[in-house]
Amino acid sequence: MTLAPPADGTVPGILHVHTNRSDGLSSPDEIAVAAARVGLKFMVFADHGNATRRPDPPQYRSGVLCFDGVEISTSAGHYVAIDMPAAPYPLAGEARDVVEDVRRLGGFGIAAHPDSPKLELKWREWTAPFDAIELLNPDTAWRLWVEQASAPATRWAARRKLALAALDYAYRSAEVMASLIQPTGVLYNWEALTRRRRVVTLGGVDAHAKLAPRSADPGDSRFALPFPGYVASLRVMSVHVRPERPLTGTDAAADAPLIMRAIRAGHLYTAVDAVATPASFEFSATNDRATVYEGDEIGAGAPVTLRVRSNAPPGFTTDVWKGVAVLSGGHHEQEFTVGTTGEPAVYWVEIRATGQPNPLSWVRSNPIYVRGAEPLARVPQRPPATTSVPMFDGKTATNWRTEHDPTSLVAMEVTPIVGGADLRFRYGLAGGAPGGQVATLVYDTPRGVASSDRVTVSIRAEHPMRVSVQLRGGAGEAEGERWERSIYVDPTQQDRTVYFDDLMPVGHTHTFRPDLADIRGVLFVVDARNTRPGDSGRIWIRKAALEK
Ligand SMILES: [Zn+2]
Ligand SMILES: [Zn+2]
């Protein structure tokens, strides 16, 4: 359905596009040509990587402002990081660590495809402080597109054949399809987060210009079909961002911060253009003190008037949501207001293309947050340790030694400082492809660590890096099994505490948590997960203790 041009001051673009630098089909320039053809004004590339590649600066290609992001694989799904410099070390490992690293680097992180049917891809770490989440996602977008191709509109007829052919490869369950149009677990998860903090919601097109069957990773091109091409995939949906002022359209350095600030603020809505295009949409909230727009917060305490304006065709239905309940549904008018109390709540809007067999989501807003004065999130603090058994006393390295793979190097010395000594650890990982490179500082604990519940180190490193603190079993079934927690270390000496009940298994272990009585070593591991092969450096430990 083609609608009158929008006049809502937004700029349409898409996030999460793959190029031939990873598993996409085309170059950034070629994709920009395709994006220009469908009227997009900006685009964010998110090729698979570990964030160590220096991103291209924002630039206009064929009139489309192109940003360079990265899609990072974590232990709990994919995380798209944008608006960030190159990382000083490979970002990988636990999702909570990657989220922390992206934040430290000043980036904006998007939890990708949280309802993907494929577990390795799907975002599963709901407690990490990610910035945004894809609630209209690539896989569902494809199904939506396929669905739309069977609608009577003749402009889709040509694509229907392609779509139906692809169905043989790509068919997935109707439940996932339905996730677009009614609350699913993912929506509930997101809503629960918004009560505590802002979480930007957006659609990620995840365009590869190829479609993988249900069991294949999108990155596995053996199973990918050259379907349906970037132009078609870029037509599926767009993110409409509302910058503070109009873009110049030519000056990337001036325009890029406007787009990124608006994305970070959640000043955007997602439109499924395959349903009707172009969308025009505004959502605001007014109380006796202020008027704010989607993505913003407004103070609680006074009645709020929500205002919705769109160019929705008459058959479409607009619902105003309060959390996961419809506050005011069934609107067919293009402009209306809804009055509500001033209590803390999260409001958002969805417009659906009703009047067809499968009502489809067309526009989904970001929330307006009505907030009280109460602090939203409190980080629970652990009680301080009352017992402390030194592992390193500032004099001698009793019980300490090193381990390494056959080609990497490692050395340990006690180096005097004023009033004591540091334990200095030097490592040089072997070059080549990332594999088994490892350099480890070991503290032997022949009698286990059952009388403690944490290890605390005062530590610094020559350059920013991650060190994996591990416990290693040495008795019975647990022999050689390890549990770990990664810590960030940089040239500023800082105390880092690792709680044993916060450790995660390294590979397969017989028990999810270690039996502390069976632990025979506390390990400080530098390996190829977060350190580039061929890199070397030094780490200094001032103090280390087993505590409880
Ligand atoms: Zn992904
Ligand atoms: Zn992707």
> Is pLDDT of 326 > 80?
yes
Mean pLDDT over residues 357-378, rounded? 81
- Cα separation of 482 and 470, whole Å? 6
CA 411 / ligand 2 centre spacing (Å): 40
pLDDT above 90 as % of the chain: 67
- E strands, 154-223, are 200-203
Residue with tokens 């097109």: 205
Q: Taking Cα atoms as reference points, which of 288, 314, 282 lies closest to residue 300?
A: 288
Q: Is 206 helix (H, G, I), strand (E, B) or coil?
A: coil
What mean pLDDT, rounded, does the chain reach? 86
Q: How many CA atoms lie within 13 A of 406 on its CB side?
A: 0
Q: What is the pLDDT of residue 3?
A: 76
CA 252 / ligand 2 centre spacing (Å): 24
- Cα separation of 271 and 280, whole Å? 9
> Do 436 and 530 form a contact (C-beta atoms < 8 A)?
no
Pick from 130-144, 227-241, 533-547 the range whose average pLDDT is largest.
533-547
pLDDT one-digit tens code per residue, 416-462: 988 889 999 999 999 999 989 999 999 999 999 999 999 999 999 99
CA 268 / ligand 2 centre spacing (Å): 20
> Is pLDDT of 159 > 70?
no
CA distances from 280 to 102, 144, 273, 424, 506 (A): 33, 20, 11, 61, 50
Residue type, 48: H
Q: What is the pLDDT of residue 120?
A: 78
Q: Is 41 helix (H, G, I), strand (E, B) or coil?
A: coil
| Sequence-distant contacts of 416-419: CB under 8 A, at least 24 apart | 419/394
Q: What is the pLDDT of residue 447?
A: 92
Q: What is the pLDDT of residue 183?
A: 45
CA 363 / ligand 2 centre spacing (Å): 22
pLDDT one-digit tens code per residue, 23-63: 777 889 988 998 998 899 999 999 999 999 999 999 999 99
- Cα separation of 53 and 25, whole Å? 20
> Is pLDDT of 139 > 70?
no
Tokens of 130: 């990610």
pLDDT above 70 as % of the chain: 83
CA distances from 341 to 304, 306, 368, 461 (A): 6, 11, 14, 53
CA 405 / ligand 2 centre spacing (Å): 34
Mean pLDDT over residues 307-334, rounded? 95
> Is pLDDT of 1 > 80?
no
CA 167 / ligand 2 centre spacing (Å): 20
Mean pLDDT over residues 477-503, rounded? 95
Tokens of 181: 């149009």
Q: pLDDT confidence of 147, banded at 50, 70, 90?
A: very low
CA distances from 291 to 121, 196, 244, 335, 336 (A): 39, 22, 15, 17, 16
CA 477 / ligand 2 centre spacing (Å): 39
CA 413 / ligand 1 centre spacing (Å): 43
Q: What is the pLDDT of residue 370?
A: 96
pLDDT one-digit tens code per residue, 223-274: 333 444 566 667 778 999 999 999 999 999 999 999 999 999 999 999 988 7
- Which bound ligand lies closest to the C-alpha atom of 122? 1
Q: What is the pLDDT of residue 224?
A: 39
Mean pLDDT over residues 530-536, rounded? 97
Q: What is the pLDDT of residue 137?
A: 62
> Is pLDDT of 178 > 70?
no
